Structure 1
Amino acid sequence: MNIIEIWDVESSQYRLEDLLEEDIQMAEAYFGVKLPDDYIKLLKIQNGGTLICNALPIALNRWDGDDYLEIDNLRGIKKDKGIMETEYFKQEWGISKRNIILISGDGHSWFALDYNHGAEPKVIYIETDSERITQIYDTFQEFINHLYVHEYDEEEGLRTTPLPTIEDARKLINCSEEDDIIEGFDIFNSFIYDESIHEEYFDYLLNFIKSGNEDLKDYAAEAVWRVVTAQYPIDKSLIQKVIVELKDDKDPTIQNFLEEIEEIINSV
């Protein structure tokens, strides 16, 4: 994504006066964080505004046939404006999650930087009506790189390419090739909102751990960490089964994941 092409320069909505260095310093001091370099680069071109690229290729509500998330703006920085309105909007819309910065949204849904897991923020999607929070990207740069222009085919009113189904995911997971297995589980993971598949989901992860394949084991530990940090309503007993299987593993990355997982589930 060429960051110069991101802004709808003909729209004045959400657009603030030119970004100054003192605005950056004010925001970083207020939130106690370092804002992503790519975010600052965007705001130096234009300090917030409407986006030309209006979608992200993420399916959260697959039962509606949706395969994307809409996004029409990115907030800039000025005193009491843009991202500096984060606390106001959090109170207004009942968002209790701490250490986040709201960077885009309309009230019913928000995109935010999540600083709960280190200096490099994750990007999360908040649905205030359902109180669901989903981690969607590991970095702001990844978030920007996935933006695209969604064009709806009004004449047909139908999708031209069907989404992979949960049956497609199961077939791939049961293949012998590691890449197919991971691709299948990534598809399966997009159905995680459905509590009826949680037990099956964790059975797959336990099989990955017991397979003897180090890559699949690492993948399983990270997958559990992702669903826990995204605050899906997962039965703790399912998570504990994974913890038991991995607690004696010597891999420092896995141990880091386990420490964060236990910290989160014990704080709930």
Structure 2
Amino acid sequence: MELPPDFDSSNFWEDSPFAATKTEPPPTDELIHALETELGYRLPAFYVAMMREHNGGIPHNNTFPTTEPTSWADDHIAITAICGIGRSQSVSLGGPQGSQFMLDEWGYPNIGVVVCDCPSAGHDVVMLDYRACGTQGEPAVVHVDQEDDYKITFLAPNFEAFVRGLVPSEAFDE
């Protein structure tokens, strides 16, 4: 899959030395398959297409509106990075502090794949939620709040809707 023509990825990502620490080289088909096998889930086509163009990093728009309060705010969550497909960066899917680490070491529920890091340094994450679709389906996107007994808050029906729903932090009174 290629990214839809109405999605402008050229202005999506922050370009800074710090942002580069969250970015991996473009993933190969072999790496994608290996990580899908290890994680036990097929990654969404839109996510894979995004990562083929820019593999992880910090988006300019880094907040997502919510209809219920979280430990972060009454009306939104924030992300610090979208995890890349790789193993070398700490929060990449297969990195030392990637998805499996968050499940094993932090006790996050085994419902899918941790796909975004949040500013709380591990106390909340954004996950691809495969509970309704199975391991090969199109997962919903949820916020999981470790500080609130791993409360799961629905964000978007799929990864594309999540990415398109990200807004600048200035949209909210902090």
**Aligned partner of residue 43 in structure 1, secondary structure:** helix
**Aligned partner of residue 101 in structure 2, secondary structure:** helix
C-alpha separation between the residues in 1 aligned to 2:22 and 2:148? 26
* Candidates 6, 14, 29, aligned match of 2:22: 14
> Is 1:5 aligned to residue 11 of structure 2?
yes
State the superposition RMSD in angstroms: 2.5
Q: What residue number does 2:141 align with?
A: 123
Gaps of 5+ in 2: 1-6
Alpha-carbon deviation of 1:31? 2.5
C-alpha separation between the residues in 2 aligned to 1:104 and 1:62? 16
Counting helix residues as a fraction of each chain, which structure ranks higher?
Answer: 1
> Is 1:32 aligned to residue 45 of structure 2?
no
TM-score (norm 1): 0.52
* Candidates 78, 84, 102, aligned match of 1:89: 102
* Candidates 124, 148, 162, aligned match of 1:109: 124
* Candidates 152, 155, 163, aligned match of 1:133: 152
Q: How does 1:55-66 map to 2 (within 5 A)?
A: 55-61=63-69, 66=74
User: Structure 1's 65 and 39: CA in aligned 2 closer, same or farther, altered over 3 A?
Assistant: closer
Q: Which has the higher contact order (CA 8 A, sep 6+)?
A: 2
* Runs of at least 4 residues off by over 4 Å: 62-65
Counting strand residues as a fraction of each chain, which structure ranks higher?
Answer: 2
Aligned residue-pair number: 154
* Structure number with bigger Rg: 1
> Is 1:23 aligned to residue 31 of structure 2?
yes
User: Structure 1's 63 and 128: CA in aligned 2 closer, same or farther, altered over 3 A?
Assistant: closer
Alpha-carbon deviation of 1:120? 1.0
Gaps of 5+ in 1: 160-268
Corresponding letter in the other structure for 1:3: S
